[in-house]
Structure 1
């Protein structure tokens, strides 16, 4: 993320009038420039032939370009009355095998209660697998039976992070109608077996909750990026992501940076990079262990995985317009998930 701006010095300009132009203290401007420039371009008292002047990133003449932060340069999550339609692409890579899922969905804010925001999520298109509408029976069954989930209601905390699915009890009520629809189109032992498995999950609340917690779209959109970024517009967080099927998700250390200036499209840019930081070994993850089998006072952490994200927020509402999240972990082979979400316009 860029840490400074550059002013091209015009003929006749002085350090004092440039500082005045950007509403800066002259000595503070000189100190900032000297901390960023080459030795030959340092300013002792006033300008002596320098061609460029380094400015703090927030030093702009158009104050509308500044991101509106809360206390401590905190990014405030205010989704009230919002409604977005998104296009979603999810890539799942295991070694040399790669599959891409695409669909469209809507996200509507419902209410705020007890410091939680409630949203309704609805899938608004067919499901596409590797650019083709799903047609294999297993994929069609998965798509048809997934209708029992929508509309889905979730709660999100004040940092914009997924909290819980709030309408789990409704799925049991929807299932008979969905099941009837499935049997109108399909028949045979495969369908019977699939529906039995679905029913076991639907009627087991904990299993259903865990299944939905692993939804890549929900976890990416509501990753929780509304933090206090501090004086240097950066922060470090410890987060998990459901890249493997385990009740205890792999943990990552992620450094987030936010640009205090909106870009040319009036978007707020947030970038993040990190690594796996978990006590569990490759062997533990492969075997689905929720904790390390080796108990040590100072365990050697597993860093064989990476994390990257790029979020672009609306400059006025500070809500997501487009985002990219990529998460990987090394098992016997590398597994990588990448999620792309982009707001759709009519």
Structure 2
């Protein structure tokens, strides 16, 4: 394994070196500790006797993976995000037969640790306009209880647990009282009670969060090793139908190196492979019926998605996911997002135009019941 050497300078810390090299703290420690002598292992701080750190540049690391892809028809997407705050514009569109409804918002995600993220949302639009229906406005106010939301992730990038459940519970009484100040009815009280039951129960709240179409798409477990080939199928799941376990699809995986853009495109395409029948889904069964009907009608539907990833840390630049299920009224969902890059600022001084990059914010810090 070829690597480079960083000579430690006076005043350096692990954080400052990580920033200089554009490498996450996890990657910096992990790679160095893998190849250094035992006496030179790095913990939470730089040992005083350490004079140099071994590392591999992110792009070289990506290129090695791409060479492996060409030679072995396999590819490893490592879950190793940089510690920064990123903003995405997200849109989720729901289709039921001829009906179409969409919600869009800005999604801010900050990587606190390798497996811990903090999420906020703002600027909600429903069907391309500010929420005006009372039900939408109430749901939006209730969603404010969740954010900021801190989630721990597994090593594939899937949601594992809620880290700040206590904070969420503590926010709820204030949010609830503000809603009552604006709206008051017997129906509202029942709605608040249903949401309160979910908020109080960490397991129930986690399951509800996992059903969120955008969060499910973003934290889709894409960071894994892929065996590629014409006959190689993997399974993808999506919570397409409310109050049902996610629908299973068998998909083909494709990985492309878009070298001119310094991006990797990860694509999935396939059809329903769920063992439940059409009748099972209509009846809201979590699992296939024990008493099988004669000639059960199989489910039919498609799954298509692609993720455009930066060479740097395989960070999601944009993605599109769509899947459907052929029912009496077709059930379909489309989720799309793209990363918002802040434009540089132009400063004119004494006839000279200087481009100033935005300040580094790497360390800056509605959907419950249906």
2:220 maps to which of 220, 223, 228: 223
1:90 maps to which of 92, 97, 113: 92
1:310 maps to which of 306, 312, 319: 306
Counterpart of 2:320 in structure 1 is 324
Aligned ranges for residues 281-292 of structure 1 at < 5 Å?
281-292=277-288
Counterpart of 1:277 in structure 2 is 273
Task: Give the superposed CA RMSD.
Answer: 2.6
Give the CA deviation at 1:209.
Answer: 2.0
The CA distance in 2 between the partners of 1:166 and 1:330, in whole Å, is 38
Matched residue count:
276
Give the CA deviation at 1:118.
Answer: 1.3
The CA distance in 1 between the partners of 2:169 and 2:326, in whole Å, is 38
Counterpart of 1:243 in structure 2 is 240
The CA distance in 1 between the partners of 2:87 and 2:340, in whole Å, is 5
Counterpart of 1:7 in structure 2 is none
Go from structure 1 to structure 2 and tell me whether the alpha carbon gap of 1:92 and 1:335 turns closer, same or farther (over 3 Å shift): same
TM-score in terms of structure 2 length: 0.69
Which consecutive unaligned segments of at least 5 residues does structure 1 have? 1-62
Give the CA deviation at 1:154.
Answer: 1.4
1:76 maps to which of 75, 78, 81: 78
Higher Cα Rg, which structure: 1
The CA distance in 1 between the partners of 2:231 and 2:316, in whole Å, is 19
Q: Which segment drifts farther, 203-212 or 66-75?
A: 66-75
1:204 maps to which of 201, 206, 213: 201
The CA distance in 2 between the partners of 1:169 and 1:252, in whole Å, is 36
Q: Any idea what the Cα deviations from partners look like across 1:118-146, whole Å, max 9, x if unmatched? A: 111111x2311111100100000000011
SS at match of 2:92: strand
Give the CA deviation at 1:345.
Answer: 1.5
Go from structure 1 to structure 2 and tell me whether the alpha carbon gap of 1:303 and 1:193 turns closer, same or farther (over 3 Å shift): closer
The CA distance in 1 between the partners of 2:270 and 2:63, in whole Å, is 24
Give the CA deviation at 1:111.
Answer: 1.7
Give the CA deviation at 1:213.
Answer: 1.1
The CA distance in 2 between the partners of 1:330 and 1:164, in whole Å, is 33
The CA distance in 2 between the partners of 1:235 and 1:139, in whole Å, is 43
Which consecutive unaligned segments of at least 5 residues does structure 2 have? 1-58, 69-73, 343-370
Counterpart of 1:214 in structure 2 is 211
2:119 maps to which of 107, 111, 121: 121
TM-score in terms of structure 1 length: 0.73
Q: Any idea what the Cα deviations from partners look like across 1:268-297, whole Å, max 9, x if unmatched? A: 11111011111111111122111111467x
